[in-house]
Structure 1
Amino acid sequence: MDFLPIIQLLVPYHARLFLKTKGLQVWLLQKNRNVNPFDLTVQLWPRNIYLGIGCRRGTTLESIETLVLPKLKELGIDLRTIVGVASVDLKKDEAGLLNFAAKYNWEISFFTAEELQNAAGEFSSSDFVKSVVGVSNVCERSAVLAANNGSIISSKCSLNGVTLAVAEADIVLDFEKLS
């Protein structure tokens, strides 16, 4: 019996997956761990999610978790898929933000206001944030830059002085390089 190559993509939010293959029989690539269409389903957990976080001076780790953890659960994002956290360089000494990234063993990166301003895309805007930081949005822009100009999968949300945006980097699967 001959098998035709079959590729099935089940992605619950906007993801860009690029496949290069020869002789592939059956693959299922998904981001929803609750979908198991086969008796034996192998799940791949790519680490390509970045969190952009803005916060008031003196914000605690617990305040950040109060916004971030329920939002990730709502989005169906497993903590194991997160690569890092990003923010504006004015927050590089912010204990709550640094402790949050350290607690989950995530990379943390900071961008200047100029780098954030040059991020490509459509972003929400705040005159207050612009007056303080020098750019109208921190969380969405920093998430996109950390994800190497990836896609926003959750735009700005806020709670108690913390803002969050979630972005994902492109996933490139090249089966030819594996051989």
Structure 2
Amino acid sequence: MIKIITLTEAGHQLAKELAGVLAAKQACDIYYKPKPFAHTVQQAFVQGHSLIFICATGIVVRTLAPVLQDKLNDPPVLVLDELGQFVIPLLSGHEGGANQFASEVVALLNQLCQAGKQAAQLVQTTAKPYLAPIYTVGMGCERHCPEAELESLLLACLDKAGLSLAQVSAITSIDIKHDEAGLISLAKKLGKPFITFSAAALRQVEHLLDSKSEYIFNTVGVYGVAESAALMQAQLQANDQAELVLIKHKTSKATCAIARAYPLQVSQENSTL
């Protein structure tokens, strides 16, 4: 379960908006000015709940310090400012999944983002994010989906993730789409390689998917084409585990997801708390 802890009215409003979209995937509770504060928060942490704090980082550190174990056992902890502009994976970044969790929260906040409001940003302080990341796009679609619809979806997803086309290394899909005209022409138009994978290959990253569709699995042999393909290509290019920067977004005929990985050969093992 996800617990959102907030101490201000502005933070409470953000917590309610965020809980509304998080609840579609996982049970979510809001603790608004909980009393006794330290005991309530520490109990939630010890019980293994994923925690989102909308407050000062110092408060979180001082409150959780007595119950910290190590990055292999502690649950993920995120810290947000009350405007929802910055998301910090504070504890258990890689092993506990806080980095991935933070990426998902950024994507959800940007879905909620109103016109004129600054988009949410991921503030990740572990070693790997200082390296040049590899970004890959995964796409799935109905047969004969128009190129224009695919391009519109891709550009919208890049905008959500705060990325440019120049940062994308490849457009990917499942091998049954190797001859999909819209995907082929889109990749050619954008000057990106179009790469496809077998269902067996894509199942290797099944554990990294944000969502799983039994219908898609029964149809093509994987639980999600866009997320799987993006993750697989990023992982292969970096020779290290990938993560989703943007979970699957879709139109009536197509899906798109964006993954990221950092080259293993120049990285350092991080020591996130």
TM-score of the aligned structures, taking structure 2 as reference length: 0.47
| C-alpha distance in structure 2 between counterparts of 1:91 and 1:162, whole Å | 12
1:171: how far off?
Answer: 4.5
Q: Equivalent of 2:248, from 156, 161, 166? A: 156
The structure that is strand-richer by fraction is 1
Please say if 1:69 is aligned against 2:179: no
Question: Any unmatched runs of 5+ in structure 2?
Answer: 1-87, 89-102, 104-120, 236-240, 267-273
The aligned runs of 1:92-171 (5 Å cut-off) are 92-119=178-205, 121-123=207-209, 124-148=211-235, 149-171=241-263
Match of 2:128 in 1: 18
Does the Cα contact within 8 Å between 1:47 and 1:82 map onto a contact in 2?
Answer: no
SS at match of 1:118: helix
Residue 135 of structure 2 aligns with which residue? Answer: 49
Please say which of residues 95-104 and 67-76 is displaced more in the overlay: 67-76
What secondary structure does 2:196 align onto? strand
8 A Cα contact 2:157 2:257, kept in partner: no
Q: Among the aligned pairs, what percent are the same residue?
A: 26
Q: Which amino acid aligns with 1:152?
A: L
Deviations 1:92-126 (A, max 9, x none): 00000011111111112111011111225332111
Higher relative contact order (CA 8 A, sep 6+): 1
C-alpha deviation, 1:76, in angstroms? 1.1
Distance in 2 between residues matched to 1:144 and 1:167, nearest whole Å: 5
Larger helix percent = 2
Instruction: Indicate how the Cα distance of structure 1 residues 61 and 160 shifts in structure 2: closer, same or farther if over 3 A, else same.
Output: same
Q: Give the number of the structure whose alpha-carbon radius of gyration is greater.
A: 2
TM-score (norm 1): 0.70
1:77 alignment partner AA: L
Q: Is there any run of 5+ residues in structure 1 with no aligned partner, and where?
A: 1-9, 20-28, 31-45, 175-179
Runs of 4+ in 1 over 2 A off after TM superposition: 10-19, 171-174
What amino acid sits opposite 1:142 in the alignment?
Answer: A
Q: Secondary structure at the match of 1:59?
A: coil
| Cross-structure match for 1:4 | none
Q: Aligned with 1:93: secondary structure?
A: coil
